[in-house]
Amino acid sequence: MGDVGLRRLQIGVVLTSALAGAILGAGLLARVWSDCDVGIVSANLLLLTIFYLPVLFSVLTGIGLIVVRTLGRRRPWAAMAVTLVLCVVVVWLSMSVMHPDDYPGPFCPTGVPEWWPAAIPL
């Protein structure tokens, strides 16, 4: 694979992982908020769609492009793997920041939904 083809593949991986991470992160946060009865559903969806999704996509894209730019020429496959791992970490961090810990409700007495894995702190 030539240098141009590899660069296109790397940019494709960055954009795809950023878009998938942003959409899955927003969907997961919406599910957590819905299950824990946080706020008003329409306001939550508006917040996630207009503010959270584009910001998360921009952050993930920026991080991915920085990683590909720094590691891409020497270790192209490692750069793509690091990009994917960093996307997962950033989505988890944004989930932990956006989810209110001090909001125990009747559906989430601990502030975390029942289906959330206990091994992954939120």
pTM, full prediction: 0.79
Phi-psi region of 39 (alpha: psi -120 to 50; beta: other; left: phi over 0): left
pLDDT, residue 101, reads 67
| pLDDT higher at 83 or 43 | 83
Question: Would you say 52 and 98 are in contact if contact means Cβ atoms under 8 Å apart?
Answer: yes
**C-alpha span between 49 and 65 (Å, rounded):** 23
**C-alpha span between 65 and 59 (Å, rounded):** 10
- Please report, for the chain, the start and end positions of each structural domain, with discontinuous segments joined by +: 7-98
> Which of the 8 DSSP states describes residue 39?
S
Lowest mean pLDDT among 41-45, 46-50, 110-114: 41-45
